[in-house]
């Protein structure tokens, strides 16, 4: 890749899988907002093997925008429709890629977005190279990046045959979410946190990502994936990295990713004894789920970071479907003073810092204040700064815009992917027992037993502080 290509703004967007669900749910709305708010003015070329014409793709895009509350009228809508092109055909057919090359015209630095199953990544990458559509181009791929550590390495080898590392943008949309970015900003923009952000002052850390809905219409996909691969290996470990990484040094574009990688490489691989897998009752009735499936819909783990900063600090992460609420939060529990001056019995979680990632965006500081009266006794309270996330830029808009400019900070890198798989590889594929749990509960009781020494779990409550009683 030339120096010019590395810094050039993409002059066309190509998205394979243009007729699929991801395009309808995320890509079309993101492209519209880029046109409306960031003056996107390059050819947008959809590629699929659906037997469609351009008018049908435009109809699909219109339906997508309507579903997102966007009126199919106005200057931005009309301009987006003018930018749309379509190439139909099998990705394995050289004629399809030759047709794409013709549609690209004079474009020298296209952005190719692979919104297709990972099994097709190699086919598309090979076709782009043979048609000379990969020259000077960038490649965007969606997770999952492999199915385990070995398959991820094999996938990397395929992509690197045709694209240099700096031209590959691996999307984990969680990194583009404003609340996740808020963790990093709050840590390093406020000097009060850094002196206490270590094993001397932090008792334990909890990260929860809860969903009150089930697998729904994703039965086939989910039954090949499960909670460990779907969210723990990527989303949850990325949040952990942002929460616990050292400050980026210098102003190089790679500085932040370097520190995330260093942190994840220091995380000890998961011990099956510190993993609880669960499956909600009724999962087997979901269309697409295999009879007798042992895929987990809930996972809780205990992690440790082998670094001077975090040695000995237990980190608990859990995620699941059919839980009581849909909410995500991070809770950093601070150590109590070595002696309680007023002789009270104070809960260990009394002093804490809480980041709510969804549905609201908030930062809460847990404090103990004196209760009214003559006695020197207190009560726990939380100072909360809350705002609604409605004004946030949607993650796909942010990430697509960054990829077009060659800005890679919010994308994951090959060594980051490998570090994530290294952590979860020992507990993949039924290594750990599977426990049933009732829908609407907080998962199997074994998760509560796992955290008993450092717990209990603090259950997110949308719009307010965590509950203080766990299960």
The DSSP element (H or E) to which 68 belongs, if any, is none
For tokens 């691969």, the residue is 229
For tokens 């426990």, the residue is 435
For tokens 């299960």, the residue is 471
Quote the CA–CA distance of 13 and 55 in Å, as a whole number. 18
Residues involved in catalysis = 235
**Which stretches of 109-233 are DSSP H helices?**
121-130, 149-160, 178-189, 219-223, 226-227
Tokens for 96?
Answer: 């399809």
| Beta sheet of 315-320, edge-to-edge order | 378-387, 361-370, 352-358, 327-334, 202-210, 315-320, 298-303, 275-280, 434-437
Quote the CA–CA distance of 96 and 336 in Å, as a whole number. 65
Quote the CA–CA distance of 16 and 142 in Å, as a whole number. 11
Q: Whose CA is closest to 238, among 420, 414, 458?
A: 420
Residue 464 per-residue DSSP state: B
C-beta of residue 423 within 8 angstroms of C-beta of residue 267 = yes
3-state SS, residue 375:
coil
3-state SS, residue 435:
strand
Residue 174 per-residue DSSP state: G
């Amino acid at each position: 890749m030339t120096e010019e290509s590395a810094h050039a703004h993409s002059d066309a967007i190509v998205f394979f899988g243009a007729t699929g669900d991801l395009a309808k749910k995320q890509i079309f709305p993101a492209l519209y907002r880029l046109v409306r708010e960031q003056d996107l003015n390059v050819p947008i070329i959809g590629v699929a093997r659906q037997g469609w014409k351009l008018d049908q793709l435009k109809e699909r895009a219109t339906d997508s925008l309507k579903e997102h509350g966007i009126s199919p009228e106005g200057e931005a809508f009309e301009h987006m429709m003018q930018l749309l092109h379509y190439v139909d055909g099998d990705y394995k057919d050289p004629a399809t890629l030759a047709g794409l090359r013709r549609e690209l015209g004079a474009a020298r630095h296209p952005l190719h977005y692979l919104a297709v199953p990972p099994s097709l990544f190699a086919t598309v990458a090979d076709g782009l190279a043979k048609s000379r559509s990969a020259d000077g181009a960038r490649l965007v791929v969606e997770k999952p990046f492999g199915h385990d550590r070995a398959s991820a390495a094999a996938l990397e080898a395929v992509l690197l045959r045709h694209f240099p590392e700096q031209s590959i943008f691996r999307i984990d949309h969680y990194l583009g979410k404003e609340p996740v970015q808020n963790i990093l900003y709050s840590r390093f923009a406020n000097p009060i946190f850094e002196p206490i952000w270590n094993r001397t002052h932090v008792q334990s850390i909890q990260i929860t990502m809860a969903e009150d809905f089930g697998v729904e219409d994703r039965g086939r996909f989910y039954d090949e994936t499960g909670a460990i691969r779907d969210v723990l290996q990527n989303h949850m470990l990325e949040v952990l990295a942002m929460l616990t990484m050292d400050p980026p040094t210098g102003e190089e574009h790679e500085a932040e990713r370097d520190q995330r990688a260093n942190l994840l490489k220091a995380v000890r691989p998961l011990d099956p004894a510190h993993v609880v897998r669960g499956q909600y009752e009724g999962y087997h009735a979901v269309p697409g789920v295999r009879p007798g499936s042992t895929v987990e819909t809930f996972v809780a783990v205990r992690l440790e970071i082998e670094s001077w900063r975090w040695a000995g600090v237990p980190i608990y992460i859990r995620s699941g479907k059919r839980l009581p609420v849909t909410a995500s939060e991070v809770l950093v529990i601070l150590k109590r003073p070595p002696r309680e001056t007023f002789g009270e019995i104070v809960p260990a979680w009394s002093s804490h810092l809480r980041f709510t990632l969804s549905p609201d965006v908030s930062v809460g500081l847990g404090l103990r204040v004196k209760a009214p009266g003559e006695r020197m006794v207190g009560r726990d309270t939380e100072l909360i700064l809350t705002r609604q996330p409605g004004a946030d830029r949607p993650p796909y808009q942010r990430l697509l815009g960054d990829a077009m400019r060659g800005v890679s900070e919010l994308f994951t890198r090959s060594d980051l992917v490998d570090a994530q798989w290294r952590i979860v590889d020992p507990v993949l594929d039924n290594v750990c027992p599977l426990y049933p749990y009732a829908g609407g509960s907080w998962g199997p009781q074994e998760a509560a037993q796992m955290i008993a020494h450092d717990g209990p779990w603090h259950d997110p409550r949308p719009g307010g502080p965590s509950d203080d009683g766990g299960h």
